[in-house]
């Protein structure tokens, strides 16, 4: 968080905020600033490098330093080694990167990590209870809901969300509300069967 | 992705002030479109102003109608009991858009602000007047299967991608905005622009203005249908879509609200067609006449001529579904 940082990003030199060197210090450990009145603008004009970020990931509190441009997906995979969450398209089109944020399924590739301050993240690694698999994991195995397996973590996270949201009342309903998860192997019929079984089991997910 | 500053706004006014202060800044809410555009280098803000802490997450029904806060997620709006029962057209349109995951992230305000999915806009190696004004439109002579048949210019033939906005246009919604000089209301039909000579401008917001809510007048329609035709059954942008809301009694259409998606740079309201069908009994002949009228004046390009036939069929189907 010093002026030297400019050297890491020479393409940024045109950017106006780097001209304002006075405020660049003392920000490394502050929580993200609130935009206040216009007179505070000069001080705000300093955020560029890593920001502190606190997340609860699979029940564990994590205190991290993250660049604003890092997506939640890249944070999970690259910084925390949680590679169960997959990067497919990286543009919100395939669903491989689906995780739960405060219990809701989202595409982690389109979520900036810093925008999840204080939230609870659940990934595929957080589903099992020790050796005891989550009912949705069991159902995917029982119904052969995958072939290559690359989309499977996203499918399972999304499937849990689908039931939680109340959109798994029929096979047709499931197909519609699971359409954000693409499976190139074409395991769809078995995926629908797995979700139907868990839904009919009535367990709280 | 080129790095940027990240700040959080604690009031709409502060957000607007910060936006004006730094011309290369942008607001971010759900981020489902903006983060994608930033990854592809189509936009490179120097600063993101996160507006998610603003108190714009309420859905409220008043004597005048429905108000939906700009930060209400698309999924929350779609599953809201009042929206489902009193504004079914809006619920149907919301559920026709994107995927369940994206609807959990994307906000109502952001949906209105989303940019075209024209493949040439997304391809930074190709000329595009919307992305780089003055470079030309690659779609006019290119693969323009997805493109506009109404209201386009030689500068841009892109279409607006939203489904929700098609329903809001039909339902006479108003966009509430807030800026440094106060608030104002923009009728939905006046919010988005046609491309003309300035296709880089999607809408009529002034710099620094922020959408705070959408309001919809009290629903007077008892029939509604949103028909979306796309390349696959779910999770794809519209080739054409039709929003229909009707007030029907004893087989007579007393009033109508209709709009199309996938055909223009903005949701395409069908005012003339509404007049045609209002006060007339439901009949197949009337729907066929309505479809023909809706497509009058369409201008097609090499690869999107099919949209005229498809558009007519979609209008007949949507009217039939709404009234059956």
Contact B311, B291 (CB under 8 A): yes
Signed CA dihedral, A62, A63, A69, A74: sign only = negative
What are the DSSP calls for A153-180, one per residue? Answer: HHHHHHHHHHHHTT--SSHHHHHHHTTT
What ipTM score was computed for the predicted complex, to two decimals?
A: 0.97
What pLDDT shows up at residue A17? 41
Q: Closest by alpha carbon to B163, among B260, B264, B80, B257?
A: B260
How far is residue A154's CA from residue A77's CA, in Å, rounded to a whole number?
Answer: 14
Q: What is the pLDDT of residues A58-82, one digit of tens each?
A: 999 999 999 999 999 999 999 999 9
Of B3, B100, B104, the CB nearest to A12: B3
Are A110 and B102 within 8 A, CB to CB? yes
* SS3 (DSSP) at B108: helix
How far is residue B9's CA from residue B27's CA, in Å, rounded to a whole number?
Answer: 9
For A162, which residue in chain B has the nearest alpha carbon? B100
A34 — pLDDT class (breaks 50, 70, 90): low
Radius of gyration for the alpha carbons in chain A, expressed in angstroms and rounded: 21
**Interface residue A31 vs chain B (CB under 8 A):** no
Are B100 and A177 within 8 A, CB to CB? yes
Of B5, B17, B38, the CB nearest to A17: B5
For A105, which residue in chain B has the nearest alpha carbon? B101
How far is residue A31's CA from residue A12's CA, in Å, rounded to a whole number?
Answer: 23
More confident: A32 or B115: B115
Are B32 and A67 within 8 A, CB to CB? no
Q: What would the mean pLDDT of A38-52 be, rounded to a whole number?
A: 57
Q: Closest by alpha carbon to B199, among B123, B251, B121, B261?
A: B121
How far is residue B50's CA from residue A53's CA, in Å, rounded to a whole number?
Answer: 15
Q: Would you put residue B262 in left (φ > 0), alpha (ψ -120 to 50) or beta?
A: left
Number of helices (H), then strands (E), in chain B: 13, 13
- The domains located in chain A, with CATH, are 3-44 (no CATH), 53-126 (3.10.20.30), 135-201 (1.10.150.120)
How far is residue B168's CA from residue B160's CA, in Å, rounded to a whole number?
Answer: 13
Mark which residues 113-172 of A lie under 8 Å from B by CB.
114-115, 158, 161-162, 165-167
User: Measured in whole angstroms, how far is the alpha carbon of residue B238 from the centre of its chain?
Assistant: 11
How far is residue A141's CA from residue A161's CA, in Å, rounded to a whole number?
Answer: 18
For B53, which residue in chain A has the nearest alpha carbon? A34
Residues of chain B with pLDDT under 50: none
Going across the sheet that includes A34-35, the strands are: A34-35, B5-9, B47-50, B25-28
What pLDDT shows up at residue A114? 97
- Report the interhelical angle of B306-323 vs B284-294 (nearest 10°): 140
A38 — pLDDT class (breaks 50, 70, 90): very low
DSSP B63: S
Are B5 and A33 within 8 A, CB to CB? no
User: How far is the alpha carbon of A124 from chain B, nearest alpha carbon, in Å?
Assistant: 16
For residue A20, pLDDT over 90 is answered with no
For residue A8, pLDDT over 50 is answered with no
What pLDDT shows up at residue A48? 58
User: How far is the alpha carbon of A3 from chain B, nearest alpha carbon, in Å?
Assistant: 15
- The domains located in chain B, with CATH, are 5-52 (3.30.43.10), 223-323 (3.30.390.50)
Signed CA dihedral, B306, B309, B312, B314: sign only = negative
Question: What stretches of chain A adopt beta strand conformation (E)?
Answer: 34-35, 51-57, 60-66, 98-101, 104-107, 120-122
User: How far is the alpha carbon of A34 from chain B, nearest alpha carbon, in Å?
Assistant: 5
Q: What is the pLDDT of residues B97-145, one digit of tens each?
A: 999 999 999 999 999 999 999 999 999 999 999 999 999 999 999 999 9
Which tokens go with B174? 């108003």
Are B36 and A34 within 8 A, CB to CB? no
For A32, which residue in chain B has the nearest alpha carbon? B7
Are A175 and B234 within 8 A, CB to CB? yes
Contact A42, A20 (CB under 8 A): yes
How far is residue B256's CA from residue B232's CA, in Å, rounded to a whole number?
Answer: 29
Which tokens go with A76? 């999970």
CA dist B189 → B172, B213, B268 (Å)? 8, 16, 9
More confident: B135 or A48: B135
More confident: A46 or A143: A143
For residue A40, pLDDT over 70 is answered with no
* SS3 (DSSP) at A96: coil
What pLDDT shows up at residue A33? 54
Of B17, B104, B235, the CB nearest to A105: B104
What pLDDT shows up at residue A49? 78
DSSP A181: S
């Amino acid at each position: 968080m010093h002026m030297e940082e400019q050297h890491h990003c020479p393409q940024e030199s045109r950017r106006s905020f780097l001209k304002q060197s006075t405020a660049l210090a003392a920000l490394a450990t502050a929580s993200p600033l609130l935009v206040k009145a216009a007179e505070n603008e000069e001080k705000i004009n300093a955020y560029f490098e890593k920001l502190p970020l606190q997340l609860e990931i699979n029940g564990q509190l994590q205190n991290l330093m993250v660049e604003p441009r890092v997506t939640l997906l890249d944070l999970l995979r690259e910084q925390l080694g949680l590679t169960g969450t997959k990067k497919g398209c990286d543009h919100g089109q395939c669903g491989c990167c689906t995780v739960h944020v405060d219990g809701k399924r989202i595409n982690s590739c389109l979520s900036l990590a810093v925008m999840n301050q204080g939230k609870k993240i659940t990934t595929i690694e957080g589903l099992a209870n020790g050796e005891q698999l989550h009912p949705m994991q069991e159902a995917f195995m029982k119904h052969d809901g995958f072939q290559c397996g690359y989309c499977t973590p996203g499918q399972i996270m999304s499937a849990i969300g689908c039931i939680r949201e109340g959109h798994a009342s029929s096979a047709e309903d499931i197909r519609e509300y699971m359409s954000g998860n693409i499976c190139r192997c074409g395991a769809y019929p078995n995926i629908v069967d797995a979700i139907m079984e868990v839904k009919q089991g009535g367990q709280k997910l | 992705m080129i790095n940027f500053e990240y700040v959080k706004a604690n009031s709409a006014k502060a957000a607007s002030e910060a936006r004006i202060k730094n011309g290369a800044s942008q607001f971010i809410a759900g981020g489902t479109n903006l983060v994608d555009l930033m990854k592809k280098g189509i936009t490179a803000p120097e600063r993101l102003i996160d507006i998610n802490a603003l108190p714009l997450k309420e859905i409220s029904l008043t004597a005048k109608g429905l108000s939906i806060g700009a930060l209400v997620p698309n999924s929350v709006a779609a599953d809201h009991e009042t929206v489902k029962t009193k504004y079914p057209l809006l619920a149907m349109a919301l559920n026709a858009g994107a995927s369940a995951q994206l609807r959990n992230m994307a906000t109502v305000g952001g949906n209105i602000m989303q940019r075209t999915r024209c493949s040439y806009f997304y391809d930074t190696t190709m000329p595009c007047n919307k992305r780089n004004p003055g470079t030309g439109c690659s779609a006019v002579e290119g693969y323009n299967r997805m493109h506009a048949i109404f209201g386009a210019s030689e500068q841009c033939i892109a279409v607006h991608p939203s489904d929700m906005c098609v329903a809001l246009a039909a339902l006479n919604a108003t966009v509430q905005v807030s800026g440094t000089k106060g608030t104002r209301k923009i009728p939905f039909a006046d919010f988005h622009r046609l491309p003309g000579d300035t296709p880089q401008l999607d809408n009529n917001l002034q710099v620094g203005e922020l959408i705070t809510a959408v309001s919809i007048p009290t629903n007077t329609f008892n029939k509604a249908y949103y028909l979306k035709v796309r390349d696959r059954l779910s999770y794809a942008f519209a080739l054409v879509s039709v929003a229909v809301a009707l007030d029907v009694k004893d087989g007579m259409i007393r009033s109508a609200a209709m709009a199309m998606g996938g055909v223009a740079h903005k949701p395409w309201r069908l005012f003339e067609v509404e007049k045609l069908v209002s006060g007339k009994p439901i009949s197949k002949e009337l729907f066929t006449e309505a479809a023909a009228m809706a497509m009058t004046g369409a201008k097609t390009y090499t690869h999107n001529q099919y949209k005229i036939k498809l558009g007519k069929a979609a209008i007949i189907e949507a009217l039939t579904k709404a009234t059956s």
